[in-house]
Amino acid sequence: MENILNDINKRFISLPEEDVRGNKQILESVLRTFVEQMKTQDPLFKALFRRVFYGGSFYDGLKVGKPEEFDLDILLHIPIYAQPVLNESNVPGFVWLKLNNLDGWLRQPEGRVYKDFRKKFLADNDFLDTGKTLRWMESLVQKTLNTLPWVNNATCELTNEFGTFHINWWKGGPAMTLGISHSSGEKIMDVDLVACFVFSGDKWPINGYRSNPFPSTKPEFFIVPKKPQGPVNPQGRYWSLSFQEQERVLIDNKNRLKPAVKLIKKLKEKTHPNIASYYIKTVFLHIIEQKDQSFWNKSLREVFMTTLREYNEFIADQSIPYYWCRKNNLIGHLAPITLNNISNRIGYIIKDIENNPENIAKHLLTKEEYTKYIQGEDVMAEALPALPASQTSSCVII
């Protein structure tokens, strides 16, 4: 079974490094220039902008399959003079942010550039509003795209050292998504851009939350304009907490952890896609607490089977507590019968591969993938097209 798991990981889950590097270079070069262009379109964005955080499963090393989807957080910073105050809301895992000295901040000489902050970001009583933030980000992305040459009504064009690319965009949840394709029309990747606000450790939530495990090296955290699952009022006041930088350190340097996460994600894609990938990552954060470093150095078979059983225990208990605030059950919105069915399905798979280890490939792979597996095809080696030769265009990105 060890050989089968390693073979599946190589041929159906992990991309060759050169392909990963190519898409990463395209992404970072395009985004670097796009953000600089955003600064020219809105002085307020230029003043607020801190940095881009390259988040999501790809940069965590947990991506399954082609690197075609990326999650990037555009981190914005509110000056301390405005006296931003974070308060835990009545929904675990969500906070409210209020500016207690907005007018005093705006009266400062350097505050002039922020004169539209209340209109664009704040609701009643100077609470930061998710809806206004999303609309502002949508408008800014559209305005920035309008500075590029347009191929048609939906697509603009840019050129850099990696070739000529077409870009279109759409909305989805809290993100503005940029679709990047080759000039031939062949899709390369989708990039989700989310406007977040970043805070230092002195704002770290306290009541019911874990303390920062890396206060000296990773002191910052983010708030994201993502609303709770259930009805809340007022809706625009709720911001989701994000501790991605700390999570990345927690899962790093643990030999078999990332391959095991990716195998379980591969299984969930086939058998229970209604469990979000982040929930699986959260289960592993809990498991890390219970295991010493030596556990992750065991065989992939042992790590995979042990963590799969523990993952199923969380599903059977119908609770995956948010790692940073246990009162927030990440799967609380799913129907009990749905979770029972998922748990029963995973339980069956565990028993089957315990009795017949060679069946693991049938459970992890789709029918099409399994046929290719039997035929010895290396799917991931041909997952991405070669980069095109550099071309020239009226819009050059450097």
83 has binding-site annotation: no
SS3 133: helix
246 has binding-site annotation: yes
Residues 167 and 288 reside in one and the same domain: no
311 has binding-site annotation: no
88 has binding-site annotation: no
Paired with 396 in beta bridges are 159
Residue 360: Cβ within 10 Å count:
21
290 has binding-site annotation: no
244 has binding-site annotation: yes
Tell me 359's DSSP state.
Answer: G
184 has binding-site annotation: no
Paired with 176 in beta bridges are 171, 193
- CATH number at 177 reads 3.30.460.90
What would the pLDDT profile of 165-204 be if each residue is shown by its tens digit?
Answer: 899 999 888 889 999 998 888 888 999 999 999 999 999 9
Q: Is the pLDDT of residue 144 over 70?
A: yes
114 has binding-site annotation: no
73 has binding-site annotation: no
278 has binding-site annotation: yes
| Tokens 């035929």 found at | 375
Predicted TM-score (pTM) of this structure: 0.90
- 352 and 249 Cβ atoms separated by less than 8 Å: no
234 domain-assigned: yes
190 has binding-site annotation: no
Pick the last residue of a domain from 243, 264, 289: 243
Largest CA distance in the chain: 73
110 has binding-site annotation: no
| Tokens 């306290």 found at | 206
Residues 218 and 302 reside in one and the same domain: no
Residues 227 and 264 reside in one and the same domain: no
5 domain-assigned: no
Bridge pairing between strands 187-199 and 221-224? antiparallel
277 has binding-site annotation: yes
7 domain-assigned: no
352 has binding-site annotation: no
Residue, of 376 and 256, whose pLDDT is higher: 256
- Kindly indicate the confidence band of residue 132, based on its pLDDT and cuts at 50, 70 and 90: very high
Tell me 12's DSSP state.
Answer: I
4 domain-assigned: no
Closest CA to 178 of 164, 165, 162: 165
158 has binding-site annotation: no
What would the pLDDT profile of 266-294 be if each residue is shown by its tens digit?
Answer: 999 999 999 999 999 999 999 999 999 99
Q: Classify burial at 222, counting beta carbons within 10 Å of its beta carbon; exposed 0-12, middle 13-18, buried 19 or more.
A: buried
Residues 153 and 265 reside in one and the same domain: no
288 has binding-site annotation: yes
Domain that includes residue 197, residue range = 17-243
Residues 119 and 165 reside in one and the same domain: yes
Residues 224 and 345 reside in one and the same domain: no
